[in-house]
Structure 1
Amino acid sequence: MSADGGRPAAEWLKLSAPTLAEMEAMALDAYARLPEAFRAMCGNLVVRVEDFPTDDVLEEMEAETPFDLLGLFQGIGLAQGYETAAGMLPNMIFLYRRPILDYWAEHEDTLGDVVTHVLVHEIGHHFGLSDEDMERLEEQADT
Structure 2
Amino acid sequence: MPLIMSGQEGARVAPSAQEIEAIARRTLAALPEEFRRHLGEIVLIVEDFADDETLKALDIESPFDLTGVYHGRPIGEKSSMESGAVLDRIHLYRRAILDEWIEDGEDLATLVRHIVIHEVGHHFGLSDDDMHRLEDEA
Alignment CA distance shift 1:44-1:84 (3 Å): farther
User: Any idea what the Cα deviations from partners look like across 1:71-121, whole Å, max 9, x if unmatched?
Assistant: 011111123335584311110000101101111111142111110111011
Distance across 1 between alignment mates of 2:14 and 2:50: 18
- Which amino acid is 1:45 matched to? I
1:73·1:126 contact (CA, 8 Å) conserved in 2? yes
Distance across 1 between alignment mates of 2:14 and 2:22: 14
Distance across 2 between alignment mates of 1:109 and 1:32: 22
Task: Verify: 1:135 aligned to 2:138, yes or no.
Answer: no
Task: Verify: 1:107 aligned to 2:104, yes or no.
Answer: yes
1:27·1:116 contact (CA, 8 Å) conserved in 2? yes
Alignment CA distance shift 1:83-1:105 (3 Å): farther
TM superposition shift of 1:136: 1.6
Distance across 2 between alignment mates of 1:103 and 1:115: 10
Higher strand share: 2
1:30·1:116 contact (CA, 8 Å) conserved in 2? yes
TM-score, normalised to structure 2, is 0.86
TM-score, normalised to structure 1, is 0.83
Task: Verify: 1:90 aligned to 2:81, yes or no.
Answer: no
RMSD: 2.1
Q: Count matched residues.
A: 132
Identity of aligned residues (%): 44
- Mark the runs of 5 or more structure 2 residues left unpaired by the alignment: 1-8
